[in-house]
Amino acid sequence: MSKLTIGVSGINATSNPGPGIPVAKSLKESDIDCKLVGLSYDVNDPGHYLSHYLDKSYILPYPTNGWDGIYKRLQHIKKDFGLDVIIPCLDAELPLYIKYADELKKIGIETFLPTQKQFELRNKDKLTGFAEKIGAIYPKTWKIYSANELSKIFADHTEVMVKGQYYKAYKVNNLVDATKYFTSIAKEWGFPILIQEVVKGEELNLIGVGDGKGGNLGMVAIKKQTTTDIGKIWSGVTITHDALTKVAEKFVKKTKWRGPFEVECIVDGDKIQLIEINPRFPAWAYFATGVGINLPEQIIKSILKQKPSKINSYPSGKMFIRYTDEIICDITQFSNLVTVGENHVSTN
Amino acid sequence: MNKIKSLVINESGFTFDPFTGETFTLNETGAVIIRQLREDAPLAEITEELTKTFDVSAGDAYTDILEFRNKLVIYGLLEVSA
């Protein structure tokens, strides 16, 4: 049997990293015999040049241009190099992969994703009612379409979060900054903009994978110890938090979630204040692998109908430390990507 | 539940809360007090331990213990019955 070929997106291992390389790294360390393909939208994504993680990489048309271009490109990749499974790792592409999962399956490309309905349940603008159903609280949130609405909110609040529907979140304590971020997020990611009350407590996160039947294939909770300017984890520590775990288990059970997810919350004692539930792996996915919970491997085993090893126990007090590194490569790799949109990473 | 029993404390007083990921460092006195509180030792016993270990009067030791215990309560690490 030929090696399984797995595609991962989000190979932007930059200062604002995507989850693709951590997912690839986890699969490399698993006992799954596979080839790994990077699926990217930018020739400057460092993943294109990381031969120790990826065997080949391809440039895809942007998701904003619709499905047809991506689908044709994936068909080409399957024919050219092989492509049996895709683990999409970026928010913007997920709706397309979910919508066209059956189409991909027909041409022999498997995914492990939630349904459209499940996906929408955890939309930021729907979390208000949903949070209560899973034993959490969702901070008061306004969905706004004009900067004028900001002043009304600031009449009663001294500090709020300004958030995009998909990306970006800034804490602001004055109307000028709020308006600035409202405008910049709207320009980049569109409307609505979400304004959220600031809640007090410890920021804790949890990564997991739902099996699609109401159970999970593993979960790991962490506390971010240090973050970058835009809130990305730089160092963290594993924790054991029963209340947070219960909320995550209820989320998976209630939605019958299929695929990876990340719960972001502010915890005050046993009170879980939900910030968001991301429908994909976070960029710190390798942290879970490092403490014995290899979630990308679990996904592939599920797809292959192999019995996943449900290990939910991991040690608390294990640390994650991100660091920067450099690689040197030939410019032909860059030119391959610019001219033909692909790079044979591992043989260059 | 008294969370101090779950705290991981190393020999130099570095303390890790496995529930929240919080870390802090105890001085020698704090380390002695917290270790005793974890064993449910009565205040009189902790006072005696402090006076034996450090050059401190029983009155000062008792005051320090109460002050430190209050901090643990404030930080949600200890519950004290009224």
pLDDT at B3 over 90: no
Q: Is the peptide bond before A192 cis (omega within 30 degrees of 0)?
A: yes
pLDDT at A124 over 90: no
A26: domain CATH number is 3.40.50.20
Per the domain annotation, does A348 fall within a domain?
A: no
User: A286 to chain B nearest CA, in Å?
Assistant: 18
Per the domain annotation, does A170 fall within a domain?
A: yes
Query: A144 and A190: one domain?
Result: yes
Q: What is the pLDDT of residues B13-58, one digit of tens each?
A: 999 999 999 999 999 999 999 999 999 999 999 999 999 999 999 9
Per the domain annotation, does A175 fall within a domain?
A: yes
For residue A303 the two structure tokens come to 């797809």
- Amino acid making up residue A117: K
pLDDT at A102 over 60: yes
Query: A331 and A316: one domain?
Result: no
Pairing label, strands A34-40, A4-9? parallel
Please give the ipTM for the structure prediction.
Answer: 0.74
Per the domain annotation, does A312 fall within a domain?
A: yes
Select from A200, A202, A238 the residue whose CB has the most chain B CBs within 10 Å, as the one to mutate to test that interface. Answer: A202
Q: Which of A197, A223, A244 is the last residue before a domain boundary?
A: A197
Q: Which of A169, A197, A225 is the last residue before a domain boundary?
A: A197
Per the domain annotation, does A132 fall within a domain?
A: no
A237: domain CATH number is 3.30.470.20
Give contacts of A223 with chain B, Cβ < 8 Å: 20-22
B74 to chain A, any CB pair closer than 8 A? The answer is: no
Grade residue A68 by pLDDT with cuts at 50, 70 and 90. Answer: very high
Query: What number is the average pLDDT over the span A12-18?
Result: 93
Number of domains in chain A: 3
In chain A the first and final C-alpha atoms are separated, in Å, by: 26
Region of A82 on the Ramachandran plot (φ > 0 left; ψ -120 to 50 alpha; else beta)? left
Grade residue A280 by pLDDT with cuts at 50, 70 and 90. Answer: very high
Segment (H or E) for A86 = strand A85-87
Q: Is the Cβ pair B20, A202 closer than 8 Å?
A: yes
A226 to chain B, any CB pair closer than 8 A? The answer is: no
Grade residue B1 by pLDDT with cuts at 50, 70 and 90. Answer: low
Angle between helices B58-74 and B43-53 (to 10 degrees): 120
Q: Is the Cβ pair B19, A239 closer than 8 Å?
A: yes
Query: A204 and A317: one domain?
Result: yes
Contacts of A20 (CB under 8 A, 6+ apart): A8, A9, A10, A11, A12, A13, A38, A39, A47, A89
Residue A35, pLDDT score: 97
- Amino acid making up residue A96: L
Pairing label, strands A141-144, A193-197? antiparallel
For residue A215 the two structure tokens come to 């159970």
The pTM assigned to this predicted structure is 0.89
Closest alpha carbon within chain B to A242? B19
Nearest to A241 among B8, B19, B23 (CB): B19
In whole angstroms, how far apart are CA A28 and each of A90, A286, A289, A343?
Answer: 20, 11, 11, 19
Question: Any bridge partners for residue A169, and if so which?
Answer: A163
A189: domain CATH number is 3.30.1490.20
Count of CB atoms situated within 10 Å of the CB of A128: 15
Query: A173 and A219: one domain?
Result: no
Closest alpha carbon within chain A to B16? A317
Grade residue B82 by pLDDT with cuts at 50, 70 and 90. Answer: low
Residue A348, pLDDT score: 47
Q: Is the Cβ pair A202, B18 closer than 8 Å?
A: no
Select from A200, A203, A205, A240 the residue whose CB has the most chain B CBs within 10 Å, as the one to mutate to test that interface. Answer: A240
Query: A310 and A205: one domain?
Result: yes
Query: A282 and A211: one domain?
Result: yes
B22 to chain A, any CB pair closer than 8 A? The answer is: yes
Query: A12 and A56: one domain?
Result: yes
Nearest to B18 among A267, A269, A317 (CB): A317
In chain B the first and final C-alpha atoms are separated, in Å, by: 15
Task: Using alpha carbons, select from A266, A308, A311, A305 the residue that is nearest to residue A288.
Answer: A311
Grade residue A98 by pLDDT with cuts at 50, 70 and 90. Answer: very high
Query: A273 and A339: one domain?
Result: no
Closest alpha carbon within chain B to A319? B21
Query: What number is the average pLDDT over the span A100-126?
Result: 92
Select from B10, B15, B19, B77 the residue whose CB has the most chain A CBs within 10 Å, as the one to mutate to test that interface. Answer: B19
A266 to chain B, any CB pair closer than 8 A? The answer is: no
CA B21 to chain CA centroid, nearest Å? 19
Grade residue A29 by pLDDT with cuts at 50, 70 and 90. Answer: very high
Grade residue A132 by pLDDT with cuts at 50, 70 and 90. Answer: very high
Angle between helices B58-74 and B28-38 (to 10 degrees): 70
The helix/strand/coil state of A246 is helix
Domain carrying residue A159:
140-197
Per the domain annotation, does A167 fall within a domain?
A: yes
> Burial letters for A177-210: b for 16+ Cβ neighbours within 10 Å, e otherwise?
ebbebbeebbeebeebbbbbbebeebbbbbbbbb
Distance, CA of A100 to CA of A211 (rounded, Å): 20
**CB B50 within 8 Å of CB B33:** yes
**CB A47 within 8 Å of CB A325:** no
Give contacts of B76 with chain A, Cβ < 8 Å: 269
Query: A152 and A66: one domain?
Result: no
Query: A79 and A99: one domain?
Result: yes
Grade residue A1 by pLDDT with cuts at 50, 70 and 90. Answer: low
Per the domain annotation, does A130 fall within a domain?
A: no
Grade residue A309 by pLDDT with cuts at 50, 70 and 90. Answer: confident
Give contacts of B73 with chain A, Cβ < 8 Å: none
Q: Is the Cβ pair B20, A225 closer than 8 Å?
A: no
Q: What is the pLDDT of residues A192-237, one digit of tens each?
A: 899 999 998 889 999 999 999 999 999 999 999 999 988 889 999 9
Per the domain annotation, does A135 fall within a domain?
A: no
Query: What number is the average pLDDT over the span A292-321?
Result: 91
Query: A225 and A160: one domain?
Result: no
Residue A148, pLDDT score: 86
Give contacts of B19 with chain A, Cβ < 8 Å: 239-241
B73 to chain A, any CB pair closer than 8 A? The answer is: no
Residue A315, pLDDT score: 95
Query: A337 and A245: one domain?
Result: no
Q: What is the pLDDT of residues A42-59, one digit of tens each?
A: 999 999 999 999 999 999
Nearest to B76 among A223, A239, A269 (CB): A269
